[in-house]
Amino acid sequence: MPEIMIITGGSRGIGAATARLAAQRGYAVAVSYVRDEDAAGRVVGEIRARGGAAIAVAADVSQEDDVVRMFQAVDGALGPVTALVNNAGVVDRQMRLEDMTAARVQRILATNVLGSFLCAREAVRRMSTLRGGRGGAIVNVSSRAAQLGSPGEYIDYAASKAAVDTLTLGLAREVAAEGIRVNAVRPGIIDTDIHAAGGDPGRAERVGPSLPLRRAGSPEEVARAILWLASSEASYCTGSVLDVAGGR
Ligand code: NAP
């Protein structure tokens, strides 16, 4: 039976690196995106050119209808999901709490928290052995910000990632006896476009040398940790949160 992995936000950054590596390891891959259709198409094209199976699905993880439709599309095109990577996530401009609008905080929580809950729900409905599924693995992409708090930058984002850590722990225990393992990675500063969205495009280059490992991480280094947690190599890990942060 083929392994089928959904990677939310698989068009760019950590998600795209995870999609490429998953395909190399033999997964059929579905990547979701919201805006950058060309980037999603490039990831899928690369995987197919190497003989892998991949599809791209436009779906905003904060919208319940989009999430339901995405899982149905994957059911039809590839089969029921066996691995979910809850990777889609957003930050907003760096600022202090006093300046944050309700709309901003709601957008961060809707994407990073509600989106992870909705995708995990659809995955559990398909994976749970209680529902006739064959089990599976969920890997949530949290952040070191969950423990550092990101003061003066984006405490809304940090708090959303703390919620992802607790989702990981609670859901792991809730579905452990149903063949589903739930784990998370907590990346540190990784060289992707996300820093530009925070208004600090040079962040990885600037902060990298001050980190214990003296550099920012690459998306591929996070992808390898995600693939390990999703694989049977991590068969006794559930509810685990793995820092991939260069010692930060
Ligand atoms: P990125 O380069 O900005 O890519 C974000 C991805 O998420 C894109 O594929 C984007 O799709 C997608 N996305 C955004 N909003 C979405 C939504 N509402 N629904 C579905 N997809 C959505 O980000 P990244 O740095 O790779 O980050 C990936 C994950 O790692 C995030 O959860 C982030 O919080 C976490 N993380 C990153 C770092 C870091 O330093 N980079 C550190 C810690 C944690 P489009 O292409 O369509 O916009």
Map residue 92 onto helix, strand or coil. Answer: coil
Number of domains in the chain: 1
Tokens representing residue 139 in the block: 């890997």
pTM, two decimal places: 0.98
Map residue 189 onto helix, strand or coil. Answer: coil
Ligand 1, pocket-test mutation among 91, 139, 192, 213, most atoms within 8 A of CB: 192
State the distance from the centre of ligand 1 to the C-alpha of 88, rounded, in angstroms: 5
Residue nearest to atom 19 of ligand 1 (CA): 60
| DSSP string for residues in 122-163 | HHHHHH-GGGT---EEEEEE--THHHH--TTT-HHHHHHHHH
Output phi, psi for 242, to 5 deg: -105, 120
Indicate if ligand 1 lies below 6 Å from the C-beta of 34.
Answer: yes
User: pLDDT tens-digit profile of 186-227?
Assistant: 999 999 999 999 999 999 999 999 999 999 999 999 999 999
Query: Which class for 65: exposed (0-12), middle (13-18), buried (19 or more C-beta within 10 A)?
Result: exposed
Indicate if ligand 1 lies below 6 Å from the C-beta of 18.
Answer: no
DSSP state of 94: -
State the distance from the centre of ligand 1 to the C-alpha of 43, rounded, in angstroms: 15
Range of the domain at 216: 4-244
**In the chain, which residues have pLDDT < 50?**
none
DSSP β-bridge partners for residue 241? 184
Question: Which ligand 1 atom is nearest residue 219's CA?
Answer: 26
- 121: how many CB neighbours lie within 10 A of its CB? 14
User: Alpha-carbon distance 55 to 108, whole Å?
Assistant: 26
State the distance from the centre of ligand 1 to the C-alpha of 133, rounded, in angstroms: 29
Q: What is the CATH number of the domain that holds 171?
A: 3.40.50.720
- One-letter amino acid at 124 equals V
DSSP state of 111: I
Check residue 2 and give its pLDDT: 85
- Strand order of the β-sheet with 136-141 is 54-58, 28-33, 4-7, 83-86, 136-141, 180-187, 241-244
User: pLDDT tens-digit profile of 55-85?
Assistant: 999 999 999 999 999 999 999 999 999 999 9
Check residue 1 and give its pLDDT: 77
User: Alpha-carbon distance 21 to 8, whole Å?
Assistant: 15
Residue 52 neighbours by CB under 8 Å, 6+ apart? 23, 24, 28, 29
Indicate if ligand 1 lies below 6 Å from the C-beta of 136.
Answer: no
Check residue 157 and give its pLDDT: 98
DSSP state of 231: S
Where do runs of H (alpha helix) occur along 3-101?
13-24, 37-49, 64-77
Residue 193 neighbours by CB under 8 Å, 6+ apart? 12, 13
User: Alpha-carbon distance 10 to 32, whole Å?
Assistant: 6
User: Alpha-carbon distance 225 to 233, whole Å?
Assistant: 11
CA distances (Å), 122 to each of 78, 129, 171, in order?
Answer: 15, 14, 13
Query: What is the maximal distance between C-alpha atoms in the chain?
Result: 52
